[in-house]
């Protein structure tokens, strides 16, 4: 079974985090929600989520992927937290998958793991750098880096992760079951 870590920091975008966690778990992926600096993490819109573990307990060797939800508040914490930044670098060094949605590709850039081609929430590319940015795709896969645009693309992003880690058959069944024909 594939295993993915979703780190949550105060100010995370709730739709993105919960949609990703839900879709991946429905797809048969073991998802570990890791709190950054706290175990009860409050998102940008006041919704609190209880983490499964602390980010300091997460080891790259035990994961297939790490995926960061957006929200500027949470993204800045992820970009400044050395444990998260080192985990991203370790994942890349081990040729494992890293992903980010919305503002969170900024944290990938800070770790030096953002791929040449990426997408993010409109205007965030100004903070990251416009080179390689596209707004024409909901999900961009470039090597072992996956990025997506924002809350409205979170289900599509989760499905793309399921497709990559679990396979086409599960992806198609889940997409149909979620009525996600737009992905």
* Candidate list 102, 120, 156, 183, residue with the active-site label: 102
Please identify which residue in the block is written with the tokens 């058959």. 169
Helix (H, G, I), strand (E, B) or coil at 38: coil
- Report how far residue 25's alpha carbon sits from residue 43's, in angstroms, rounded to the nearest whole number: 20
Those residues whose C-beta lies under 8 Å from the C-beta of residue 173, and which sit 6 or more positions away, are none
Q: What 3-state class would DSSP assign to 172?
A: helix
Instruction: Pull the structure tokens for residue 81.
Output: 């937290």
Q: Is residue 183 among the annotated active site residues?
A: no
Query: Is residue 161 within 8 Å of residue 139, measured between CB atoms?
Result: no
DSSP notation for 67-99: EE---HHHHHHHHH-HHHHHHHHHHHHTT-EEE
Q: Which active-site residues does the annotation give?
A: 102
């Amino acid at each position: 079974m594939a295993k993915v870590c979703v780190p949550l920091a105060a100010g995370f975008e709730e739709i993105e985090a919960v949609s990703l966690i839900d879709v991946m778990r429905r797809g048969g992926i073991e998802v570990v929600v890791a709190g950054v600096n706290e175990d009860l993490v409050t998102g940008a819109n006041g919704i609190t989520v209880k983490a499964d573990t602390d980010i300091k307990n997460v080891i790259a060797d035990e994961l297939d992927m790490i995926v960061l939800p957006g929200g500027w508040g949470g993204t800045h914490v992820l970009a400044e937290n050395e444990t998260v930044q080192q985990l991203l670098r370790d994942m890349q060094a081990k040729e494992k998958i890293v992903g980010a949605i919305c503002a969170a590709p900024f944290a990938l850039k800070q770790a030096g793991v953002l791929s040449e081609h990426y997408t993010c929430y409109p205007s965030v590319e100004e903070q990251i750098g416009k080179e390689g940015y596209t707004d024409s795709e909901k999900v961009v896969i470039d090597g072992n880096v996956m990025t997506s645009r924002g809350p409205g693309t979170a289900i599509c992003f989760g499905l793309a992760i399921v497709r990559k880690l679990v396979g086409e058959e599960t992806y198609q069944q889940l997409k149909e079951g979620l009525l996600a024909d737009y992905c």
